[in-house]
Amino acid sequence: MELSTFWFILIAVLWVGYLVLEGFDFGVGMLVGALAQDDKERRVLINTIGPLWDGNEVWLLVAGGATFAAFPEWYATLFSGFYLPLLLILVALIVRGVAFEYRGKRNDATWRRNWDIAIVASSALPALLWGVALANIVHGVPINADKEYAGNFFDLLHPYALLGGLVTLSVFFVHGAIFVTLKTVGDIRLRAKSLALRSGMVAAVLAVAFIVWTGFDQDKAMVWVLGLIAAAAFVMAFVATVADRDGWAFFATSATIALVTIMLFVGLFPDVMPSSLNPAWNLTTSNASSTHYTLVIMSWVAVIFTPIVLMYQGWSYWVFRQRIGVHHIPAETVVR
């Protein structure tokens, strides 16, 4: 296997990890407005992801750094063409982190309500825009012979990309609701279960439409296979949720997100960013990659440090595995 292919696969794995883990973070953030009925329940929801959300974002940082180092042409074209949506995502992630930290700094209802609104908005916006961005990358964007993006912001808002955004938004919402059923007890868990089942129907319709469209768009047998397995995994999530098998339900939604992400990268390969103007101008794993020596050094770094990061993150999930409820939140506790 060529090192450029290895790094394409590794970047795909990083995106799988990011979307699965940050996906339920985004979902829980949106649920702060849709599920919680009072401040104690909002604090419970935030506490379910409190020890985890910042670690989950590390996957995005590593994916971006790996793309910059392994495929500089891909990175340059992507960030120049997608500058506005990526800037909006970055601002939303900053606002989200600040909101988590600052909502509990004052025991004031208006203060906390404003930060809660910020949490909901800054969770929903990246959930939508990541789907739009990934759909555009796979479908193709205007890239000229100089490997430069030749379109504008509105060229990114075609029907397929918007459908991709709605899929990530809705599936992350369901993913977050199922995570809440896994991590909480009492009435909030029951309402999260009901909301997961109701919103899951909408997400399922959107996801199936996106999978079918992608299958015809990419015309690869493996894309269809992965899409069908992803749809089956989503059905399994419904069955497990009804049966109160919360762990299996969360595993199933995680598998759905992972499989759809893999499906997109399989459809993309060997390109990393197709040109909608001329296939000869596609960015590929060959013409967009760094030098062989750079990839060798990066590979050794990845081999050494990746297991360490995975072990640490696995340990943190194990430590904070307990369920929580409103009875764990004293009235005057300040959330940090």
Q: What is the DSSP string of 152-208?
A: -GGGG-SHHHHHHHHHHHHHHHHHHHHHHHHHB-SHHHHHHHHHHHHHHHHHHHHHH
Q: What number is the average pLDDT over the span 61-76?
A: 91
The structure tokens listed for 216 are 């015809």
Domain that holds residue 25: 3-328
Percentage of the chain modeled with pLDDT above 70: 97
Task: Evaluate whether residue 333 is within a structural domain.
Answer: no
Report which of residues 119 and 334 the model is more confident about.
119
Task: Evaluate whether residue 231 is within a structural domain.
Answer: yes
Residue 313: pLDDT band by 50, 70, 90 thresholds?
A: confident
Task: Evaluate whether residue 62 is within a structural domain.
Answer: yes
Q: Is the dihedral of CA 38, 20, 65, 161 positive or negative?
A: negative
Task: Evaluate whether residue 335 is within a structural domain.
Answer: no
Q: How far apart are CA 102 and CA 295, in angstroms?
A: 41
Report which of residues 164 and 105 the model is more confident about.
164
pTM for the complete prediction? 0.92
CA-nearest of 143, 144, 92, 148 to 121 is 92
Residue/partner pairs of 222-225 with CB below 8 Å, 24 or more apart: 222/266, 223/263, 223/266, 223/267
Task: Evaluate whether residue 334 is within a structural domain.
Answer: no
pLDDT for the residue numbered 332: 55
User: Number of folded domains in the chain?
Assistant: 1
Q: Residue 336 pLDDT more than 60?
A: no
- Average pLDDT of the chain is 90
Residues contacting 161, CB < 8 A, separation 6+: 131, 132, 135, 136, 139
Report which of residues 325 and 279 the model is more confident about.
279
Q: Residue 331 pLDDT more than 70?
A: no
Return the residue matching tokens 């794993």. Answer: 285
The structure tokens listed for 12 are 């795909």
Q: Are 175 and 24 in contact (CB under 8 A)?
A: yes
Report which of residues 107 and 332 the model is more confident about.
107
Residue 150 exposure: Cα atoms within 13 Å on the Cβ side: 14
Q: What number is the average pLDDT over the span 73-77?
A: 91
pLDDT for the residue numbered 333: 47
Instruction: Give the three-class secondary structure for 149.
Output: strand
Task: Evaluate whether residue 336 is within a structural domain.
Answer: no
Q: How far apart are CA 79 and CA 149, in angstroms?
A: 9
pLDDT for the residue numbered 165: 95
Q: How far apart are CA 226 and CA 325, in angstroms?
A: 37
Q: How far apart are CA 29 and CA 111, in angstroms?
A: 17
